[in-house]
Amino acid sequence: MIFKPKKRYILARSSIPIDFVRNQQALGESLLSFMGVKGYANAMPKVIKQIDSTTFIIRTNRGGEKDVILALSFIKSLGNGSGTFGIYTLRTSGSIAALLRKSGIR
C-alpha cells in the first residue's frame, strides 16, 4: 500500500505587502539557499494561498516544517527589488481549515 505523505501548513505574515504566490520562485530560491538541497527536498515548501496582502500559507512535508520556520527567520529580501521585509510564522497545523480556524481568520 502506498501512503500519501502528510503535510503541515504554516501561516505566515510579512512586514510589508508582498504577493508570495507570484514570487514563489524567488522565495523558493531564498529558502533553498538557507535549507540546502537536502533540507529543501525533505520539506518541499510551497506557497499555496495568499490570504491578504501580507498573510499567506506555506505547505511543507511533515517533519520539514521546523527547517522552513527557521529559514524564514533569515529571509529579509527576495533579491528582485521587492525591498527588505521580515516574515513572521504565526501558526502551524495539519489542515488549512484548522489553521484558519485556530488563527481566527475563518
Partner 1 sequence: MEMVKERAAKNDSMQYFDISMLNANEEFAKSLGFKKIFKIGKEISIFPNGEKCIAYISEKNFHKAVKSAEALGIVANAFPPQKKELEIIKEEEKVLIFPIGYILGMKGMELIRAIAQLKNAFRTAKQMHVKIAIATLSNSKEQFLSSMQLLEVASMISGSEEKAKEMVQRLQVFL
Number of residues that bind partner 1 (CB under 8 A): 18
61 three-state secondary structure: strand
Select from 66, 80, 94, 106 the one that contacts partner 1 (CB under 8 A). Answer: 66
Q: Work out whether 90 is an interface residue with partner 1 (CB under 8 A).
A: yes
Q: Work out whether 74 is an interface residue with partner 1 (CB under 8 A).
A: yes
Which span (1-9, 40-48, 84-92, 94-102) binds partner 1, by CB under 8 A? 84-92
Helix or strand (DSSP H, E) at 15: none
Closer to partner 1 by CB, 41 or 88: give it: 88
Q: What is the 3-state secondary structure (H, E, C) of 18-35?
A: CCCCCCHHHHHHHHHHHH
Pick from 31, 20, 18, 38: nearest CA to 84:
18
Report whether 99 contacts 9 (CB < 8 A): yes
| Chain residues in the site for partner 1 (CB under 8 A) | 13, 15, 33, 66, 69-70, 72-74, 76, 84-86, 88-92
